[in-house]
Structure 1
Amino acid sequence: METDLLHVALRAGAIYLPDDLPTGTPAQITGPVLGVTSQLLKLGYAPTEQLLHALNGVPPTQLLQILDVVNEVMGTDLNWAPLVRGWDIPTGETFADHLVTLVANLWGEEAGFHGTRLPCGHLIPDGTFPLERYNGCPFCGRQFDTAGFVYQGQGSKLKPLQLWRDAELAAHLRLLLESTVPLNATQADSLKRLLRHLPWPQGIDIKMKETSMLVVDALVEAGHDEQAGTLLTSPTDVLRYLWYRHTGYAQLVKPRTLVNKARIAHSHHYLPLDDSQQAAQDKENALRLHYDRRWCRRVAAWLNALDIDPEKACEQMHPHRAMWVRFIRALRLVEYSHRPSHERLNALLTAFHSQQYPVWQGRVNAGKLKRDTAATLALLKQRPGAFARCLLSTMLWFGPEEVLPAFAQVAHGLPPRLLLTLGSLAAGYFDGEKRMVRPVAAAGRLVDPNPLLRLYSQQQRDDMAIAVNDIYRQSMRRRWEAQQPAASTVYIDPRLDAVPVPVGDRSTTVHDAGSALQGTRFAVEGDNVRIFLQWGKGLPAMHLDMDLSVAITYDDHEEQCAYFNLAPQGAKHSGDIREIPDQVGTAEYVELDLPVLTQRGARFAVFSCNAYSNGELSPGLTVGWMDSRHRMAVDEKTGVAYDPSTVTQLIRIGNDNAKGLVFGVLDVARRVIIWLEMPYGGQNVLALNTAGINAFLKKLAAKPTVGQMLRDKAEVQHLTVTDKRDSADEAYTYQWALDTAAVASVLLKE
């Protein structure tokens, strides 16, 4: 059984069993299956009855394989011991302890300091740190003692595990390939795994260019260059794939953006440790292009096969002309263009180098500067997608009276995801306040409102937002009316009213234990929330300082629970580890006491992790939080406080990382945790801008919810909404909504 397929199914809340396995019987459950079920329950998973019966036909060796995958995902074989043993009781360490220890290590025992010499070489003076409470050095943060166990079975909620067969796996592959919204990091990783093991489905229509890049890469790796070329329909597609292959980004991110990202990630508070300039130079060197003859022939053949007018192709190439110049040189395309049967490539490069081609965007910009409304709108209507992306600013430039009717004429040709994004962004754009934006490969940032907003009254701006929203709603109604529903009754899970539609804020982290859409709200069951961070898996012992922090906001001030403030009221930190042990990684925890925070008037608690060391967050780093109605233990001897059965959310950092990441916001009064993903720059939580978080939450709140859109769709299609799931023709559950591709196939079908 392929572990890749088990991982993909587990992300969807299922266990995959191939069709060629023996079919289980509903007879008495066998001993091995009972053993696996018992282990899964301790890890927080509950197999359905159908899955239990199917497992009866699985050999014991493959049952072990399933259990190994679940344990790997939940990290039960890693070191979960923090720096402090029994850290739920603070050690009482102070800044003075660190200062005295620093002086003692500078002057040594010869100056009269007496204490304990640790394996790291540091002298801990008597009367400072209580060494019996530590698993390592409290001064340098090196961990000496690790733990080989985790708690199990303390959770008060179980995650159901469904049965997947070959048909469900193939349907999931088709759903990912035909998704009408960009795939997030989890879906992209799942698609790569599925393409390695499943046959290519027939009749696939790939909607997203970024999805095409993943498929092209799989085909190239399999040696199917000609088939891959059929998915590259323009020079921009070819450039996008080459850049994806070179950098891992399926979007055309400019080289200077990646260089600046490396420079920021390697900056340091302590100037002698700042290697930002060297990191920027290293990134520039890494971005240099080098191709062998095999790749030169491959790309030349792709470009030569494009059936497109050279001038039109050059116009598409123009926005990235500097990148094209580098690729043309590195791929020796001029040389290949002179070879027989490469006439199209020759014509393309001749037009490109002569620069005798019109540029659509230049004509649009000229029309705006000349205030030529008719000519500018005529050009914009030629490209509805570009019109949609500049609609809001164009309304301010020319006025909504002429712009909106022109846009309404072409709105029917736009993908629903673009219309939905416009509708949800309009109110925030026209309210005149700063907005949160998140450029590709960069941290989120606040941007000032458009200065042209000052030319309009508040009522006019409100009317503009309503008008844009009306266009979006009318367009969606027309699309739904044109569809032929297969059902007459539908069930809509009430929890879907708290799940935003998955458009515009894709996740760049991997959710191995189950997905969640940004903006989803998780109710807190107990009086404590425990946040965790685990990093260093598979790495040798080294200095690698990752930090877990919580920023607690009050009406008049803000407090942090971090390495520099281990025990503020209502929160406890497990200690700062800066040097990881060999291969098994290490952990940090923060526990929040909700009754204390409520009593003190706390409003929000923001969960954050940062890379204090030079560089970005370590790939493979895992963060999340635990919650249970039952008491969650902390081991007195090792400090281990991890229990997979209590995990509410668990994410793994991929390769597209930032210096810091906000991964959750606790609304203390409402006792709900809002899942979000907001990268930011800075070595610790003090760099966090709470105004940016508020703007991001406002942006998420402006999105329509899945439940709301399903009810609107049911109303348009004259379907009956029932509260009885079993009797409904179609049931839209919370588990279904966690798959963004599935949601898009129902609500945003083109």
Structure 2
Amino acid sequence: MTGMATQTRTQTARTRPATLVRVLLRRRGTVYVPAGTDQFNPDARPGVTLLEADLAERGWLLSQPLRDALLRLDTVDLTALGSRLLADCDELVGGGRDHTPLFRRFPDRVPNDTLGLFVDRILTAWFQEPTQPCVLCFAAGTVRPVNPCGHLVCGDCFRPADYSACPICYRQLDPADPYLAAGEPAVEDRPREPREVTGPAPARLRVLHLGGGLLAQVRAEVLSLLARPTALPPADADDLAVMLAGLDRTDVSWLPAAVPGRETKARLLAWLLADPVDPAVVEAHVTALVDTATDVLRFLVARSGGESLIDRPRIAPVARPLRRVLLAALDRMGVVQLVEDMRRHRRAWIAVGERLHPGEHAGRWPNVALAFAALRGTTLNQVQAAALMLNDRTASAEHVHVRDGRVLIAVRARRVEEALAARDLTAALGALRARPGELLRRADHLLRIGAGRHNALVEEIGRAARQAAPAVILSALGEIRTRAVAHDQRVFFPAGRTGTAHVVEDARSPLAPHLVGQAERALKAALFERAAALPAVDRAVVDTDLEGIIAPFTERTAARALVTLARGSVLPIPAGQVVRLFLHWMESEQRVDLDLSVAVYSKTWEHVGTCDFTNLRLPGAVHSGDFTSAPAPRGASEFIDLDVDVLAKQGGRYAVMSVLSYNNVPFLDMAEAFAGFMVRDQLGGRREPFDARAVEQRFDLTGPGKVTIPFVVDLHARTMRWLDVAAKVTGTNHAVHRHADQFSTVARALVASFEAGGRVTLGELGRWIAAARAREVIVRSPAGMTLFRRADHESVSTFALRLRTGLSSSPATAEDAASAALQFVARGDLPTPDGAEVYALHPGQLDAGRVRLLAAPDVPAMLAPPGP
């Protein structure tokens, strides 16, 4: 097992391609063990014991059935599986890398005077000579060059025991450089013994379970992702690609007849049509799945290597058989719908037209030819125009005209904009009724211009909510319920590859409180109605610790993270412990200098302090030192320790974490980059800079961004609010002192928006679903557990309100939850019946083979509208 641990430290995420086994380990907490003997293997027991110790040091435990299966393996299979499992677990938390900080004895021996150290480095760089005494201490014979930067370093002024890189330029050195060797601590060469793991268990501690039926579980996970009505976050999209690639296309009978998520559907179509084994079967699936022109566009973007319509690549050539399938699917939609969809992405569709050649098949698929003619502004002669209009069986004479040889089609979007500009509510509603999602997105605008018709508008909102996707309803609900008061700013997240937040002045007048209440009740009523239509259960559990976790409904740019959190989510920070931030990266073709930084602000968001490479120590914060390069295979790591109590006593209220690319290299150009935080015992414990077991969150740094703001710590409330936003920056030499005002503006606006209730939480959503589906609901809070029984003829809304207020309840115990077939909890530590539906932020002991383990996006997806 010693060799096993050594191997994992030399591998990186970018050199280890994703596998089905690793995907299911992360998603389900399952381990797949090769068939062993019927009897325990005595030689396997020491290896399993060491494996258990290694996993515990990373925050995982073995279930008894999994341990028994490992004990039946021969030594070769056990070693191979253990090596792979440890490498996979290391990758999840960020272990298996060299995390040596610049100042080896961080945090104890970090210099107090950052400016004085900078002056010493400058004097050494400018005036040190190879044959002269040290310019700082005047000692002779202590100055030697280091490799590869060539700086002349005095071993007395810059002791090798204190530095792990060049102390002058902070670049990584050749591992064989004598300066480094002189500072390396002695390593005892003796077999590794398992040791007791001490310290508090991490909140994310998880029990690994024995997996079985790999193909069936892969298909189950794929079906779960395909059922989500919203765009998948990058981590789930990557998992879907890996799982689809591991499946055989000869049998696609298990696939669903409909896929509500448009981008997910495009990925499925790209897989189906990549190498069709049975064209007839594939064509049938395309016919069933494609119902808008944008579905075809997204598919073509996905098969061309693109991730979304925002950053589409050059459209790849389309073979003639596939071209016929796509043209036939488009033609069935009718020309008006085609043009409405195509005009949303006009430039992309013009490029697609060069691949599909619709004019060559105008006689067979006239709707497509007519739509492209309207899109391109093509001039048709009378014969062509008459032929197309004659063949088009779906074109409405009201909206399709040919004037001077040009096809003119009045699309809905233009009619909506014109009606709203004219404050013509009747015309606007007439154009929006066929698009319930768009009506809900414009609900605030409609209510502002609908004086005198508010009751009718609320009815329209309720009618649209009964048809719209749950993500749209939740978004509208979060927006509407904050509109009774005036706000200084609004926050937008534009579509794109990075989660950039735009902050603008909010010039809207507040809506009347009674109107806000009416619209809010109409939106909730649609959610209650859908929840009540789900299978009923006798008992449910809802955890109040989920009140701070935002329900995800748009995650296209969410970071790939160990613990999935939607923007705005809040987690508590345990009292009496230190938060250690960490950053690790590895450059590829060019030097990369990333900087881990913390900016501290007052309660009015005035900048009061910084802990970064310009200021290594701040009361309550200490930086591990600034690496300015990260060559492979070692990379580089930086840390910052935050003592929340001390920072708060110094006048700080908010601490904003940021990662900045100092020399302006985007994250996507790096071989590897990730960051996160640990929670460590303040009084000591293990002294390693990176403690894999203490890691509570780890997330990738990806995309074209150069500055990211992962989260903000409320020092008084002792909470961490997940932001996961990128800052738009220009130039180079990025540092907190250049962007402190921008960080303050973005973080302040986001915190205010989330605190105002602009996002529905999983705690709220879980409470509503439980109230609709269960006769009895157990509410777990830090104060204990209470049981609520729904009275006869009590409405769902009244019962849900009572769950929040705590009226008419009785005490309950953990054993009472053993029969709860529906649970929404922060930690999976309650007993559960077989087949239960459980969402747990931290799955803990939950066995995905025994219960239906829900991901956060699966909770709102429960409320998807019924199919046709």
TM-score by length of 1: 0.84
Contact 1:550 1:605 in 2 (8 A): yes
Supply the AA of the counterpart residue of 1:622.
Answer: F
Q: 2:258 maps to which residue? A: 205
Supply the AA of the counterpart residue of 2:165.
Answer: G
Change in Cα spacing, 1:482 to 1:97, as seen in structure 2 (3 Å) is closer
- Displacement of 1:243 after TM fit? 3.1
Q: 1:374 maps to which residue? A: 426
1:49 aligns with 2:64: yes
Change in Cα spacing, 1:254 to 1:450, as seen in structure 2 (3 Å) is farther
Q: 2:299 maps to which residue? A: 241
- Displacement of 1:527 after TM fit? 2.4
Q: 1:440 maps to which residue? A: 495
Equivalent residue in structure 2 for 1:492, among 514, 528, 542: 542
Partner secondary structure for residue 12 of structure 1: helix
Q: 1:622 maps to which residue? A: 674
Contact 1:154 1:645 in 2 (8 A): no
**Alignment RMSD, CA only?**
3.5
Equivalent residue in structure 2 for 1:404, among 458, 467, 473: 458
Partner secondary structure for residue 716 of structure 2: coil
Matches within 5 A, 1:289-688: 289=314, 291-292=316-317, 294-295=318-319, 298-299=322-323, 301-306=325-330, 307-329=332-354, 331=355, 333-334=357-358, 336-337=360-361, 345-353=368-376, 354-399=406-451, 401=454, 402-428=456-482, 431-441=486-496, 442-451=498-507, 453-454=508-509, 458=510, 460-485=511-536, 487-505=537-555, 508-511=558-561, 513-518=562-567, 519-524=569-574, 526-536=576-586, 539=588, 542-555=590-603, 557-618=607-668, 620-629=672-681, 631=683, 641-654=689-702, 656-682=703-729, 683-686=734-737, 687=739, 688=742
Q: 1:79 maps to which residue? A: 98
Equivalent residue in structure 1 for 2:229, among 172, 180, 191: 180
Change in Cα spacing, 1:40 to 1:609, as seen in structure 2 (3 Å) is same
Supply the AA of the counterpart residue of 1:623.
Answer: A
CA distance in 2, matches of 1:534, 1:672: 24
Contact 2:592 2:665 in 1 (8 A): no
CA distance in 2, matches of 1:443, 1:506: 8
Equivalent residue in structure 1 for 2:85, among 66, 85, 89: 66
Higher mean Cα deviation, 35-44 or 120-129? 120-129
Supply the AA of the counterpart residue of 2:349.
Answer: W
Q: 2:180 maps to which residue? A: none
Contact 1:526 1:630 in 2 (8 A): yes
CA shift digits 1:426-472 (9 cap, x unpaired): 24456332022111225533443453x34xxx5x4434432332121
Supply the AA of the counterpart residue of 1:641.
Answer: P
Change in Cα spacing, 1:631 to 1:645, as seen in structure 2 (3 Å) is farther
Supply the AA of the counterpart residue of 1:326.
Answer: A
CA distance in 1, matches of 2:128, 2:573: 53
CA distance in 1, matches of 2:753, 2:40: 50
Change in Cα spacing, 1:26 to 1:128, as seen in structure 2 (3 Å) is closer
User: What is the total number of aligned residue pairs between the two structures?
Assistant: 699
Structure 1 ranges of 4+ moved more than 6 A: 23-29, 110-113, 125-128, 145-152
Change in Cα spacing, 1:304 to 1:181, as seen in structure 2 (3 Å) is closer
Change in Cα spacing, 1:741 to 1:110, as seen in structure 2 (3 Å) is closer
CA shift digits 1:173-229 (9 cap, x unpaired): 221111133322221111111112245534453111011122122223344674473
Equivalent residue in structure 2 for 1:725, among 795, 805, 817: 817
Gap regions ≥5 residues in structure 2: 1-15, 136-142, 176-183, 377-405, 779-811, 829-838, 842-854
Change in Cα spacing, 1:71 to 1:405, as seen in structure 2 (3 Å) is closer
Partner secondary structure for residue 298 of structure 1: helix
Q: 1:743 maps to which residue? A: 859
- Displacement of 1:574 after TM fit? 1.0
Contact 2:447 2:457 in 1 (8 A): yes
Q: 1:693 maps to which residue? A: 747
- Displacement of 1:580 after TM fit? 1.3
Change in Cα spacing, 1:50 to 1:593, as seen in structure 2 (3 Å) is same
CA distance in 2, matches of 1:187, 1:23: 36
- Displacement of 1:653 after TM fit? 2.5
1:133 aligns with 2:162: yes
Supply the AA of the counterpart residue of 2:207.
Answer: L
Q: 1:36 maps to which residue? A: 51
Change in Cα spacing, 1:504 to 1:69, as seen in structure 2 (3 Å) is closer
1:217 aligns with 2:217: no
Supply the AA of the counterpart residue of 1:51.
Answer: L
CA distance in 2, matches of 1:484, 1:634: 49
CA distance in 2, matches of 1:594, 1:553: 13
Contact 1:624 1:650 in 2 (8 A): yes
CA distance in 2, matches of 1:45, 1:733: 19
Partner secondary structure for residue 109 of structure 1: coil
Supply the AA of the counterpart residue of 2:476.
Answer: L
Equivalent residue in structure 1 for 2:24, among 9, 15, 18: 9
CA distance in 2, matches of 1:523, 1:313: 52
Supply the AA of the counterpart residue of 2:244.
Answer: L
Supply the AA of the counterpart residue of 2:858.
Answer: A
Contact 2:542 2:763 in 1 (8 A): yes
CA distance in 2, matches of 1:564, 1:494: 41
CA shift digits 1:558-595 (9 cap, x unpaired): 21111111111111111111111322311000011233
Pair member with larger Rg? 2
Matches within 5 A, 1:85-104: 85-88=104-107, 89-99=109-119, 101-102=121-122
TM-score by length of 2: 0.73
- Displacement of 1:107 after TM fit? 6.0
CA distance in 2, matches of 1:70, 1:718: 37
- Displacement of 1:168 after TM fit? 4.2
CA distance in 1, matches of 2:575, 2:221: 32
CA distance in 2, matches of 1:3, 1:447: 37
Partner secondary structure for residue 310 of structure 2: coil
- Displacement of 1:325 after TM fit? 2.0
Change in Cα spacing, 1:54 to 1:462, as seen in structure 2 (3 Å) is farther
Gap regions ≥5 residues in structure 1: 256-286
Contact 2:468 2:865 in 1 (8 A): no
Change in Cα spacing, 1:318 to 1:180, as seen in structure 2 (3 Å) is closer
Change in Cα spacing, 1:710 to 1:369, as seen in structure 2 (3 Å) is closer
- Displacement of 1:376 after TM fit? 1.8
Contact 1:93 1:129 in 2 (8 A): no
Contact 1:617 1:657 in 2 (8 A): yes
Change in Cα spacing, 1:580 to 1:450, as seen in structure 2 (3 Å) is closer
CA distance in 2, matches of 1:174, 1:675: 29
Change in Cα spacing, 1:152 to 1:466, as seen in structure 2 (3 Å) is farther
CA distance in 2, matches of 1:689, 1:67: 38
Supply the AA of the counterpart residue of 1:118.
Answer: V
